[in-house]
Every structure is written in C-alpha cells, then in structure tokens.
Amino acid sequence: MTEYIAKRLLQALLVLAVMTVLVFFGVNVIGNPVYIFASSECDQPCLDKIITDLGLDRPIWEQYWVFVGNLLQGDLGNSFTHGVPAMSLIWERLPATLELAVCALVIALAVGLPLGVAAGLRPTHWTSRIIMGFSMLAFSVPVFWIGLIMIIVFSVTLGWMPAVGRGDTVEILGVDLSLFTLDGLHHLAMPAFTLSLIMMAMVIRLTRAGMREVLFSDYIRFARANGIRESRILSLHVMRNILIPIVTVLGMEFGGVIAFAVVVESIFSWPGVGKMLIDAIAVLDRPLIVAYLIFVVIMFVALNLLTDILYSVLDPRVRLGGAR
Amino acid sequence: MSAPVVLEVENLNTSFLLPSGEVKALRDVSFQLRRGEILGLVGESGSGKSITGLSINGLLSPPGRVMSGSIRLHGEEITGLPHAAMRRLRGAKIAMVFQDPMMTLNPVLRIGVQMGDALRAHLRISERECRARSVAALEEVGIPAPEDRLNAFPHQLSGGMRQRVAVAIALLHRPDLVIMDEPTTALDVTIQGQILALVQKLCRERGTALIWITHDLAVVAGLAERILVMYAGRIVEDGAIDDVLDTPAHPYTSGLIDSVPSRAQRGQRLRQIPGRMPALTDLPEGCAFRPRCGFATEACAAPQALRALGGLGGRHVRCCHPLIPVPS
C-alpha cells in the first residue's frame, strides 16, 4: 500500500512537470499583457520598463526556469490585476467552490441513488421510464441553459430564490461557509442543484445498470435463498457492489466539477475559483491563470489517488500495489 | 419407506409469461420426497430441472410464475404464500445451493458477514453467538482454521472451499429440505467427490431431504436413492436409482445412460442422442422426445400419461413404447 502510494506520487510529480510546461508555454504565447498595465499615455520607455519589470524581456525558457524555481518554493507569482500572490487568491476563493461542489455531489448521490435503485428494481414501470428520461435530459441539456431557466423561473417570475451571490456566511474553522446560515443555504440551492445535474444523471444510470446486473447474480439469489430480508439485501449485499463503479466515476468526475464549476459560478455570480478564472482570462492575468491550472492538475492527481484507495476499500479483490 | 413425507409436489405447472406468449417451462411435475431421502433430478439444459428447484423455494424471477399445482411442505401448502411467510421458510426450512461457487458468495462481503446475515435472517442472536455458530458450521464442512476464514473474502478461498462455505450456509438452520442445483459441476473431479461425500454425510446425519439437480448421471448414481428424469419440462421417468440405471424404461433415459463417456469402449465412437431438445415455445403434441427417438411411431403424437411400472420403488414412465414391459 505505502509502496503503491509512493509510486503514484512519483507519477504525479511527472504529470505535474509535464503540465507546467504545457500550461506555462500555452498561456505565455497568448496575447501581450503589457497593454493591460500601460495607460494610454505610456510611451516606449514606459512600456520597456513594464516589460523589464514583468521579466518579459528575457528568453521564454529563462522565464520558465524562473517560474519553476518559484513554483518549487510554492510561489506562483503575483496576480497582474490584484497585485497579491495568485495562490492566496485561489485559497481565498476555493472554499466557495468546494462548498458548491461538495453540495452538488451530496445532492447528486442523495437524489441519484434512490432514483437509480427505483429504476433498477422495476425497469419497465412507467416511473422508471420517467426517471431514465430525466437522467437523459439532465445529461444532455447544457448546464448554462438550465441555470438561466432556473433563474428566470424561480428568481424572476416566482421570486422565491436569490439569483446571484453567496448570501450570509459564517466562519467555521477559519473558513467562510454559507452552508450553515439560512440565507446562505437559500443562495446555495440553485447553483448546487444545477451543478449536480450531470453527476446526478450519471449516478442514476450507473445505479440502474448496476442493479440490473447485481440483482440477477447468483450471490443475490443465494442471499434470497437464505431468507435474508430484501431490505438488507438491497442496502448491503447489492449496494456494496453497485458503489464500486459509482465511486470510481464520481471520484474522477468530482475534480472536473470543481475545475469546471466555471459555468455555474458565472451564471449565478458565485464568488468561487471558476468565476475568478473567467475574470482572469478576460484581462489576461497570466500568473493567476497559470496558478489556477496548476492547482487543478494537483487536485486531479490527488482525487485520482484518493479514488483508487477508496476503490480498494470497497472492493476487496482490488489489491493496491499489484499481485502478492 | 415409512419415513414421513417432507415435500409433495403435485401437478406443478410453471410458465414464463413473455410478450411473445407463454413458455411452459414445467408441465404437470409431480413427485414426493421423504425425510432423509436423496433425489437425483436429471435432464439436459432447459429440461426444467433448475426451474423445479426455483419454483419450490419461490425464487422464480419474473416473468417466471407458478401457474398451477401444489407444493406442500410437511403437508402445508406453500404455493401462493405471501412474500414474508415465504422468506421465513427460505434458509430455515428449504435451503438451496447454486452451481458456480465463484458466483454464489458475495464478492465484497466477508464470509463472517454473509454467514451472520444468513443466521440473523431467522434468529435473534448476539454477535458472539453468531460467530460461534458460524465457526461450528464451517468446522462441520471441514474448513480448516474456521475462525480466520470468517474474516476472509470469498476470492481468498478456492472454488472447493467456497462451495463448502455455501453448503455450510445452506445447512445453518438445519433445513428439512436442501435443493442443490449442480453444486459440483464447476469443480475439479476430486473436489466434486469430497463435496458429494460431505453433503451425503450431513444429510444422512440430520435426516435432511435432498434434491440434487444435475446433468451428470455418474454423480447421481453414487449419491441418490431415487432418480427423476426430466425432458422439456416433463417428468419422463422416475424410480429407484439402480432400477432406472440398470433397466431404463424411457428411450431418453437410455440415451442419457449411453452418452456417459466412461461406458464407451476404447476406440469406439462416443454415443450421443441425435438432435436437440425442441424449443419450449413450440413443443410438439404428445411426446416431446418424439423427433429424436428411434422408436417413435404415430402413436407418440397422442398425449402421454405417466404410467406406473410394476415392481418395487414405484417406477413410472411417460412413453408409449417403453423399453421394459408395462403391466396393463
């Protein structure tokens, strides 16, 4: 196990190294950020000074080395627009995004699992058809459209829900969370639900497929032949088996949800990292974009590792670190 | 033959109600089983032998349904029992073991958890007693270091060990009737022998009635006292095992016996029954074996009744050209 984790961490470092190259060069050949800093009266010497200050006069590989050297010290540079370290901006915004993503995950599971089980138990019943139709829609209708329609219906027309912002927050363990205030929950509901839809659709489909497979397996039939109660069979004997693919897929998907909460955060003006990224791209704030991308890579690698570990806990046949 | 009757099956008809129509998987299956008796249920794939087992313990999955007939356990009707009542019977009175030991145990639950669930399905006992009983049950089926095995996952045991565990679970509540659906088919021959001996011993000690479903006549020959031969959902022959194997009355039974490879002479071509079983969706009128039978005549197209043969052991055959004489 430890050996396996060590190996995975090594791989992760490699992935990270490759990603720094891609991200750095990718971002640094786009546009010229100098004009953001230069006022309209700025003449050539003034422009040259800005270029020297930003280190843009040096060859690009040298810039890369400086970037990597700083990265190793945990320094991803100062944001051009905010003038503060990019990483601290991300840390500041991250709780809002994490809160949104975790809530979306919880909603996806809380709604998706029961619906999937229901659809799997009676696949030809009309309720199952409705559930599967819903999952198809949730999967294919664009998130931004759903978000906008929800705002139109619940905020504009009915006036039940706030359309934008995060609402009241309370500080818990040094982190601002809106999950624990009524106003915060009120603000959180629509964006979290919108963000959860794709995961929810996936959970429904995976659960249903798992049910269809596991319910007809010999071991479930054997459990029934032993007179074990149906509720116990469903909640333990079937569920354990179904959770394996769900955990795998959600583990990988969750990183994506955090990274690409961009759309939902933009629509609902949720002050998270996704919204920050969009703003950063709009003004070509290179360090902030790079810092965000590096952060996303690290998060994906960490989540994949976590998924593998969780997977081995759920499925005893999976032994991390190869056959023994 | 004076032991009390445990199971009576009478005119059991089971069908699968498919959109394309009714598929009759069992037709008028009748037999009874006494305490401690071992019955071999033999037939090809699709003959209805597994369906018979599932009909008895109420585990037919839709669209399968018992259409008519009666199944009585200790004289009490159990067809049409409510789900909850049927559940209380399963495992406690009627147990079942399935074919593939690799698939019979839940891959993600420890042996101890699976045994514990099977115990608690019918008993309210403490965690400690649960463990003690599980260990004892594993010991009985000859599993070494049973305490450690409780913490093992199925994949950590061999196929033979897993089937022993399955047998142990099936026998936990000392059921009156055990249905074994080809439990040794997927095992090595040596392991198969061990399991056979084990099951035979345990059932004898406890007076458990046993239905052993198989397509392997060699297995039944050494184990069962009585044999029931099924073809296309019907019983075509039954009787005491030695009588049937020595002097089969139905051409199908005879064909089955001839097909056992060990009976062939070296260098001789292996015998087989030509053709294959007709689809249950369009069974011919009368004898379903007719198209494959060397003795078939016009008369076989008429419906056949199960007729009693003379002699001991209550033999019956469903054939209008039986290979041994039928008293009229």
Distance CA A97, CA A49 (A): 37
Lowest pLDDT segment from A151-155, B160-164, B177-181, B305-309 = B305-309
DSSP state letter for B215: S
Q: Kindly state whether residues A290 and A160 are assigned to the same domain.
A: yes
Which residue from A296, A288, A274, A293 is spatially nearest to A81, judged by alpha carbons? A288
pLDDT of A267 above 60: yes
Residue A192 lies in a domain: yes
Characterize the bridge pairing of strands B76-77 and B64-73: antiparallel
Q: What value does the mean pLDDT of chain A take?
A: 83
Query: How many domains does one find in chain A?
Result: 2
Q: Average pLDDT, stretch A48-66?
A: 80
DSSP state letter for B90: B
Residue A80 lies in a domain: no
All domains of chain B, ordered by start, with CATH? Answer: 5-108+176-317 (3.40.50.300)
Residue A320's pLDDT band (cuts 50, 70, 90): low
pLDDT of A205 above 90: yes
Supply the ipTM of this predicted assembly: 0.86
Q: Average pLDDT, stretch B41-51?
A: 86
Q: Kindly state whether residues A213 and A273 are assigned to the same domain.
A: yes
- Cβ of A226 within 8 Å of Cβ of B61? The answer is no
pLDDT at B264: 64
How many CB pairs lie under 8 A apart between chains A and B? Answer: 89
* B213 in contact with chain A, both atoms CB, cutoff 8 A: no
Q: Kindly state whether residues A30 and A177 are assigned to the same domain.
A: no
* B224 in contact with chain A, both atoms CB, cutoff 8 A: no
Distance CA A312, CA A310 (A): 5
Helix (H) or strand (E) holding B258: helix B251-258
Tell me which chain B residue has its CA closest to the CA of residue A216: B61
Radius of gyration of chain A (CA): 24
Q: Average pLDDT, stretch A189-217?
A: 91
**pTM score over 0.80:** no
Q: Average pLDDT, stretch B27-43?
A: 89
Q: Average pLDDT, stretch A88-106?
A: 88
pLDDT per residue as tens digits for the range A224-258: 999 898 899 988 999 989 988 898 888 878 888 88
pLDDT at A106: 93
Tokens 């004892």 found at: B136
Q: Which residues of A touch B177 (CB under 8 A)?
A: none
Q: Kindly state whether residues A212 and A104 are assigned to the same domain.
A: yes
Q: Which residues of B touch A232 (CB under 8 A)?
A: 117, 121
Out of A14, A38, A72, a domain closes at: A72
Q: What value does the mean pLDDT of chain B take?
A: 85
Tell me which chain A residue has its CA closest to the CA of residue B157: A317
* B133 in contact with chain A, both atoms CB, cutoff 8 A: no
As a whole-number percent, the residues of chain A with pLDDT over 90 amount to: 18
Burial of A171 (C-beta count, 10 Å sphere; 0-12/13-18/19+): exposed
Residue A79 lies in a domain: no
pLDDT of B314 above 90: no
pLDDT of A323 above 50: no
Residue-number span of the structural domain to which A38 is assigned: 2-72
pLDDT at B94: 92
Residue A81 lies in a domain: no
- Cβ of B109 within 8 Å of Cβ of A237? The answer is yes
Out of A12, A38, A72, a domain closes at: A72
Tokens 């769900």 found at: A246
Scanning B305-324 for CB atoms below 8 A from A yields none
Q: Kindly state whether residues A272 and A133 are assigned to the same domain.
A: yes
Nearest-CA distance A77 → chain B (Å): 48
Distance CA A54, CA A83 (A): 12
Helix (H) or strand (E) holding B251: helix B251-258
What CATH number corresponds to the domain at position A129?
Answer: 1.10.3720.10
pLDDT at A203: 93
Out of A72, A96, A111, a domain closes at: A72
pLDDT at B328: 61
- Cβ of A316 within 8 Å of Cβ of B166? The answer is no
Q: Kindly state whether residues A25 and A155 are assigned to the same domain.
A: no
Residue B283's pLDDT band (cuts 50, 70, 90): confident
Q: Which residues of B touch A245 (CB under 8 A)?
A: none
* B84 in contact with chain A, both atoms CB, cutoff 8 A: no
Are residues A147 and A263 in contact, defined by beta-carbon separation less than 8 angstroms? Answer: yes
Q: Kindly state whether residues A47 and A106 are assigned to the same domain.
A: no
pLDDT of B218 above 90: no
pLDDT of B324 above 80: no
Residue A78 lies in a domain: no
Q: Kindly state whether residues A133 and A222 are assigned to the same domain.
A: yes
pLDDT at B313: 63
Which position has the higher pLDDT, A32 or B236? B236
* A9 in contact with chain B, both atoms CB, cutoff 8 A: no
Which position has the higher pLDDT, B184 or A215? A215
As a whole-number percent, the residues of chain A with pLDDT over 70 amount to: 94
Residue A56 lies in a domain: yes
pLDDT of A322 above 60: no
* A237 in contact with chain B, both atoms CB, cutoff 8 A: yes
Q: Kindly state whether residues A96 and A54 are assigned to the same domain.
A: no
As a whole-number percent, the residues of chain B with pLDDT over 70 amount to: 96
pLDDT at A324: 40
Nearest-CA distance B86 → chain A (Å): 8
pLDDT per residue as tens digits for the range A292-313: 888 888 888 888 888 877 777 7
- Cβ of B121 within 8 Å of Cβ of A218? The answer is no
Residue A135 lies in a domain: yes
pLDDT at A218: 87
Provide the residue type at B96 as one letter: M
Tokens 């045991």 found at: B157
Distance CA B248, CA B217 (A): 13
Tell me which chain A residue has its CA closest to the CA of residue B120: A228
Q: Kindly state whether residues A168 and A266 are assigned to the same domain.
A: yes
pLDDT per residue as tens digits for the range B244-272: 888 888 888 888 888 777 766 777 777 77
Which position has the higher pLDDT, A209 or A35? A209
pLDDT per residue as tens digits for the range A117-167: 999 988 888 998 999 999 999 888 888 899 899 999 998 888 888 877 777
Q: Which residues of A touch B122 (CB under 8 A)?
A: 227
Q: Kindly state whether residues A56 and A126 are assigned to the same domain.
A: no
Nearest-CA distance A241 → chain B (Å): 7
Q: Kindly state whether residues A9 and A155 are assigned to the same domain.
A: no
